[in-house]
Amino acid sequence: MPVLYPVFALFLLTAFSTLRLAYLRLNAVKTGAVNPKFYRDYQGFEEPEKLRVASRHVVNLYEAPVLFYTVSIIAYVTEVGGFAIVAMAWAYVLLRYLHSYVHLTSNKVLLRFRLFATSQAILVAIWIMVFASMLQKHLI
């Protein structure tokens, strides 16, 4: 079960980012910074950069992390979530938090990319370890 705790931590980041985006959008419409018609089909009007970045960030949290959620559930169901896999899952989540912080504050592209690339490398390693553990468990 420890392999599922990082899943909840990443969910909290996604939920926070989504609620933050909703707040920013509502506030932008309320203050007149964005024409509400923009949100019909996201065309025809400009959205401030801060909102574009926040929106892109939320989309990003619904892309690659889906693979993390999937492999975590596979590890849990097949009971192969050993210490190394759990530690790597926490490392993945920590890197996603750091990536979020950089993306939503300084937005330093090279640093953001390094954090993302490292998180992706860890995600690939988790998949390999889960698959290898499943094979080992099945073959024994």
pLDDT, one tens digit per residue, over 66-97 is: 999 999 999 999 999 799 999 999 999 999 99
Say if CB 24 and CB 11 are below 8 A apart: no
pLDDT confidence tier of residue 140, bands split at 50, 70 and 90: low
The CATH number assigned to the domain holding 111 equals 1.20.120.550
pLDDT confidence tier of residue 137, bands split at 50, 70 and 90: confident
Q: Which domain holds residue 103?
A: 2-139
Sign of CA dihedral 94, 90, 74, 125: positive
Split into its structural domains, the chain has a count of 1
Distance from C-alpha of 35 to C-alpha of 29, rounded to nearest angstrom: 6
pTM higher than 0.85: yes
For residue 66 the two structure tokens come to 């889906």
* pLDDT, tens only, 15-74: 999 999 999 999 999 999 999 988 888 888 888 999 999 999 999 999 999 999 999 999
Q: Amino acid identity, residue 54? A: A
